């Protein structure tokens, strides 16, 4: 049976609502760790992650059995649950995660 080659990269960007600068260095590193753990647990190949106080960039390689929607839902859902638990009642009412996805097909 012939093998096919697939190389689809996703550039995911999560931003805070109204670009509020709430991802301070300590919290940002915790969010990065949650996203890394989520990716490993769900067999999502996360090549790199970085960001600043108001947004995060991810570079993800899409496998043939994965969909963009499932990857975004999984990573965004877990990171949002983490932020809600950490921030409790302080900023959650003022916060939301927005995302942008761009795709590079090689």
| 55 vs 57: CA distance, rounded Å | 7
- pLDDT at site 46: 96
Q: In what order do the strands lie in the sheet with 8-16?
A: 45-52, 55-62, 8-16, 97-105
For 62, residues 6+ apart whose C-beta sits below 8 A from its C-beta are 6, 8, 9, 10, 68, 71
Per DSSP, what are the bridge partners of residue 99? 14
Give me the mean pLDDT over the 13-34 stretch: 85
Predicted confidence band at 26 (pLDDT cuts at 50, 70, 90)? confident
What is the model's pTM?
Answer: 0.79
Higher pLDDT, 26 or 46: 46
Higher pLDDT, 91 or 52: 52
- pLDDT at site 81: 79
pLDDT at 95 over 70: no
Query: Can you read off the two tokens belonging to residue 103?
Result: 């795709």
For 24, residues 6+ apart whose C-beta sits below 8 A from its C-beta are 53
């Amino acid at each position: 049976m012939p093998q096919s080659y697939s190389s689809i990269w996703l550039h995911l960007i999560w931003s805070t609502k109204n670009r509020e600068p709430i991802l301070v260095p300590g919290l940002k590193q915790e969010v990065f760790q949650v996203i890394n753990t989520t990716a490993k647990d769900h067999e999502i190949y996360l090549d790199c992650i970085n960001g600043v106080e108001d947004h995060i960039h991810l570079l993800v390689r899409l496998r043939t059995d994965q969909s963009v929607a499932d990857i975004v839902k999984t990573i965004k859902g877990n990171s949002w649950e983490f932020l809600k638990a950490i921030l409790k009642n302080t900023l959650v009412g003022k916060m939301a995660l927005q995302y942008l996805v761009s795709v590079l097909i090689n």
